[in-house]
Structure 1
Amino acid sequence: MFQNSNIKIEQYESYQKMSFRNRCMLAGSNGVVNLSVPLEKGRGQKELMKDVRISDSENWRVQHWRTIESCYSRAPFFEFYRDGVFSLLQNKQTFVLDLNLSILEWLAKVFKYRGSVSLTEAYHKEYPTDVNDLRGAFLPKNYAAEDFDLKYVQVFEDRIGFKPNLCILDLLFCNGPSLSIGR
């Protein structure tokens, strides 16, 4: 995504269940771990993405942080980025879109992204061919289908093998902000 100079986040689409809009995948000691931000009306809602509210009825922020620590406390760059990730989780956003934007803004700083990130002004079912439309490109059910040939040492690789296409936290905690990775 950061290879593009102008990123627009779709705010007027209907919430897409079974997507990465409120979830991520990490590498744990026993395999891939799924983290989902709970939603007020559940995942089957038909609201616009900009209106989808986070449910704070559970203690999900503490649970997510414990899972992240369990998965990455031994990663080489965990200590360097832990406070930033912890503060993102503690910042009580009302809407999923606001949480996603704060995460994206933090990542843009970490990776020194020089482009712009903004929200769409209106919904477009299709975009011109010169626009790289990634709205439905990556889904949890087929996240491993794409092979970006991006390899780096993961914390539990010796136990569970290399797990491709995980959350950016895996790359960041294991490799740091350098995108020049390879084996």
Structure 2
Amino acid sequence: MELILHPSYFIDVVSLVHLYHCNQLMLETHDNYVKQTYRNRCYIATANGKLALNIPIVHQKSGHSVPYKSIEINQTDDWVTQHLKSIKSAYNSSPFYEYYEADLHDLFSDIPKLLIDWNIKTLKWTLHLLHITKSIISSEEYLDDIRARQLITAKQNPILSTHSYIQVFQEKHGFLNGLSALDLLFNLGPSAGVYLKEQQYLIKE
């Protein structure tokens, strides 16, 4: 099974479930940039509930379709410090945050100019730490895949509800669905693969 995904900022758990059970991943690289999507945001669990981490971008002329692969990250904003601080505040008490903290800081030490390059970098970083090996290729033209569009959209309920796992602050907020894979990594660590494998029957072809 081939899965088509729009590169996102730290892939969300629902998309990661789909990715885990595909044979080949194709990254959509010929689409236009769309707001209110996971292209420049991800969600983490904090003491106050679900928090969006947004990457500032260099805005281009409004009223025109802008290719996703041309979107630049606004490097004048100190978003890196803010995101690292928020992630540490959220997951410092999780079982595996300290284990992966150095890797996280290494990742953020070199931010590419283009948003799509950064998102692909965070994807490969996540898959590496979760020991997930997949064949990854890039599209040669816009594919307009329905499931890919559903998965990248942030302002809607996830297209499937995954089984719960132990999250930080779960006693306060209950299980939060649709979070970044960072949540899975810091809470489950090496056991994340077992969890992802168990979600297979939730996927509808």
TM-score when normalising by structure 2: 0.78
Q: How many residues align?
A: 176
Q: For the Cα contact (< 8 Å) 2:71–2:114, is it kept in 1?
A: yes
Partner of 1:169: 182
Q: Say yes or no: does 1:140 pair with 2:144.
A: no
Unpaired segments ≥5 residues, structure 1: 128-132
Shift, 1:151, TM fit: 1.2
Partner of 2:4: none
Residue 125 of structure 2, aligned match among 99, 103, 106: 106
Partner of 1:154: 167
TM-score when normalising by structure 1: 0.87
1:34-78 per-position Cα deviation (integer Å, ceiling 9, x unaligned): 001110017967321111100012100000000000000110000
**Counterpart Cα distance in 2 of 1:11 and 1:2:** 20
Q: In the superposition, relative to structure 1, how do residues 91 and 121 fare at CA in structure 2: closer, same or farther (>3 Å)?
A: same
**Counterpart Cα distance in 1 of 2:157 and 2:96:** 24
Partner of 1:130: none
Shift, 1:144, TM fit: 4.6
**Counterpart Cα distance in 1 of 2:126 and 2:83:** 18
Partner of 1:125: 144
CA RMSD of aligned residues (A): 2.1
Runs of 4+ deviating beyond 6 Å: 42-45
Q: For the Cα contact (< 8 Å) 1:17–1:43, is it kept in 2?
A: no
Q: Secondary structure at the match of 1:134?
A: helix
Q: Report 1:1-183 matches (<5 A).
A: 1-41=19-59, 46-126=65-145, 133-144=147-158, 146-148=160-162, 150-178=163-191, 179-181=193-195
> Percent of pairs identical after alignment?
28
Unpaired segments ≥5 residues, structure 2: 1-18, 199-205
Q: In the superposition, relative to structure 1, how do residues 141 and 83 fare at CA in structure 2: closer, same or farther (>3 Å)?
A: same
Q: Secondary structure at the match of 2:194?
A: coil
Q: Secondary structure at the match of 2:20?
A: coil
